Amino acid sequence: MSQALSLLPLLAQLKQSMQQAQLWQADIPSDEALASQAPFCVDTLTFAQWLQFVFHPKLSLMAEQQMPLPSKIAVLPMAEEAFKLETKPTDEVMRIISQIDTLLTQDEPVSLLDIVYQDEYLVAINKPSGLLVHRSWLDKGATQFAMQMLRDQLGQYVYPIHRLDRPTSGVLLFALSSDVARLMSEQFAERAPTKMYYALVRGWCGDGELDYPLKEELDKIADKHASQAATFKEAVTQYQCLQQVELPFAVGRYATARFSLMQLMPKTGRKHQLRRHLAHLRHPIIGDTSHGDGKQNAFSKQQLNNHRLLLHAAQLAFTHPITQHATVIDAPLPADFERVLKTCGIDRFSV
Half-sphere exposure of 205 (CA within 13 A, CB side): 28
Longest dimension (CA), the chain: 73
Q: What are phi and psi of 236, to 5 degrees?
A: -130, 130
Return the active site residues.
165
Query: Which secondary structure element, helix H or strand E, spans residue 298, and what is its range?
Result: helix 294-304
The distance of Cα 179 from the centroid of its chain, to the nearest Å, equals 20
- DSSP 8-state code for residue 251: B
Is the C-alpha dihedral spanning 111, 116, 119, 122 positive or negative? negative
**Angstrom distance (rounded) from CA 38 to CA 101:** 21
Half-sphere exposure of 9 (CA within 13 A, CB side): 6
| Angular region, 74: left φ>0, alpha ψ -120 to 50, beta rest | left
**Angstrom distance (rounded) from CA 89 to CA 48:** 9
Residues 321, 324, 328: CA angle, nearest 5 degrees: 85
β-bridge partners, 239: 208, 264
